[in-house]
Amino acid sequence: MKVLSPPRPVPWRDTLRTVLANGLDTVVVPAPGAPLAELRLVLPYARTGHARTQELLAAGLGTATTSRDRREVAELAAGLGAEVSTVVTAEHLVLSVSVLAEGLPAALDLLADLLLHPAYDPPAVPGPAAPAPPGPRTRLRRAQLRHAFGGPHPLSDDPAGTAVPTVEELHALHRRAVVPHGAVLLLMTGEEPDRVLARVREALADWTGGPSGLLLPPFPRRTPTPGRLALHDPAADQALLLTAGPAVPAPDPAHTALHLAQVVLGGHATSRLTQRLRERHGLAYAVDARVRQNRAGCWLEIDCAGAPGTGDRLAAEVTACLAELAATGPTPEEARRARRYAAGFTRFALATRAEEASALAGFAASGLPLDWLAHYPDALAEVSDRQIAESAAAFLDPARALVTTLDRTGPAPTGRSAPTGRSAPTGRSAPTGHGR
């Protein structure tokens, strides 16, 4: 047997978190001996009335500055072994840098240049092709959220502001959105945290401004309006289903039991939905369940796709599955498997340093304690079977959920945008009390 036990060069120290003078919430996570430094800058970036400008800014941020064109930025990054990327989520713009550890100081200088002196290519005239009309999944998603939680809301409205912006408009948005106040910067590196913090202070001293106010607003309603909504799309090549049920967000203690009830319901090979819809009835190509959570709200969602024409059948089976689990709770064996599965799933979110950096930066930006996930497996182990059953009874009751489908059959859409029950021509589409 060959054994390798790499020495740990520095004893582990606590995470350092502080708000800099410019308002930047800065987190330094020690990773002794890590060959790479990971950096995540999380900026509030909820959709505004300038969707196209936001899209183009996200594509251009991190690629060029007034003194370095794209090629020069790419060359500088390559010399440091750095990768710079951006990701846009429902509420954030995340700028990520992964760099060879010794390149961190130079990467911070590059970051400062990218933030302080950005250069955006003039959007081509007449501009890149307009964004494609939303696909069936997006239309269903918007209709689901609109019905469940009311509107107007950035997550359920069709995006406004699709005209191609000018370079000036891109710079104006940069000045508004790419600001330290309200943002989170997380660094994970083997370097001594105080030294890292000093480097950040120095590199980003001139970066000021904010907050941008680009926070995702809460939905008008906190709990979903239950019912049944069926959208019709003659071109649909799949039947799609989405539900929105009540839920409680992490790190609320009640979330843990709900999470386990959700795992029993759906998400893996032996969960109830998979067994019933896929294995027993061969109805669904894919079926999943999860608790969704962001600044807008928190809801339990089932996501399912099947053959065209099966939308009503999917809705009926999903509703029956919910009702069954809510009525009787999980078997002891199901509860045991759910605890194991959920604990493993939790660990996978922190499986690599890069994933851990992204997860922790997300927690910091969402107001979650940084260590909540690390302690979560313990919390999962403490939930009793009875607590899972109680949570299922409270949150999985189909009478409290909105069940939405999009299929070939059903009422026809009336407009280009997401059809809603309100505009649909037949009574079938209006939310109707369901299950009771």
Partner 1 sequence: MSVPLVVEELPGRGLVAVALTVGAGGDDDPPGRHGMAHLVEHLMFPRGDEGDAGHVALVEEAGGMCNAETHRDHTVFHTVVPADALPDVLAWEARRLLRFDPAPATVRSEAAVIAEEIRAADAGNRLWDIVLAALHPGARDAYGTTEELRAATAGEAEAFFRRHYRPGRAVLSVVGDVTAGRVAELVEREFGDWGTSGGAVPPGRGSDAGPPVRESVGRSSGAGVPVRESVGRGSGAGVSLPEAEPRAVPAKGVGAPASGTPVPYHRDAVAIGHALADPRAGLGPYLAQVVLCEVLLRTRLPRLLAGTGALDAATVRCGYQGQWLASAAPDLALVLLGRAPGTGTEEAVGRWLDVLGALAAAPPGEDELRPAVAVLRAAWHRQADSLAARALAHGRAELLFPRQEGAAPDAVPAHLAAVTAADVSATARALLTTPPTVRTLEGVTP
Other C-beta atoms within 10 Å of 78: how many? 10
Nearest approach, Cβ of 224 to partner 1 (angstroms)?
29
Question: Among 20, 254, 350, 393, which residue sits at the site for partner 1 (rule: CB under 8 A)?
Answer: 350
Looking up tokens 């001293």 gives 205
What the block records as the tokens of 389 is 């059953």
Q: For residue 189, with 0-12 CB atoms within 10 Å meaning exposed, 13-18 middle and 19 or more buried, which class applies? A: buried
Number of chain residues interacting with partner 1 (CB under 8 A) = 37
Q: Which two tokens stand for residue 339?
A: 């605890």
> Per rule CB under 8 A, is residue 412 in the interface with partner 1?
no
Span interacting with partner 1, options 94-102, 126-134, 293-301, 313-321, rule CB under 8 A: 94-102
CB 97 within 8 A of CB 107: yes
- 81 binds partner 1, rule: CB under 8 A: yes
Angle, CA 249 vertex, CA 320 and CA 339 arms, to 5°: 65
Give the contact letters, 323-342, x = binds to partner 1 (CB under 8 A), - = no: --------------x--xxx
Residues 110-149 that bind partner 1 (CB under 8 A): none
- Token look-up 């969960």 returns 271
CB of 289 closer than 8 Å to CB of 245: no
Q: Which is nearer to partner 1, 206 or 382 (CB)?
A: 382
Q: Number of C-alpha atoms within 13 angstroms, CB side, residue 40?
A: 26
Residues 361-380 that bind partner 1 (CB under 8 A): 377
Amino acid at 327: A
Q: How far is the CB of 8 from partner 1 (least distance, A)?
A: 8
From candidates 50, 255, 353, 400, binder to partner 1 by CB under 8 A:
353
State which of residues 67, 70, 72, 83 lies at the interface with partner 1 (CB under 8 A): 83
Residues 261-280 that bind partner 1 (CB under 8 A): 268-270
Among 13, 19, 66, 75, binds partner 1 (CB under 8 A): 75
The alpha helices in 22-179, defined as continuous H runs, are 51-60, 70-79, 104-116, 136-149, 167-177
- The secondary structure of residue 118, as a DSSP letter, is B
Point out which residues bind partner 1 (CB under 8 A). Answer: 1-6, 35-36, 75, 78-83, 98-100, 103, 268-270, 337, 340-345, 347-348, 350-354, 377
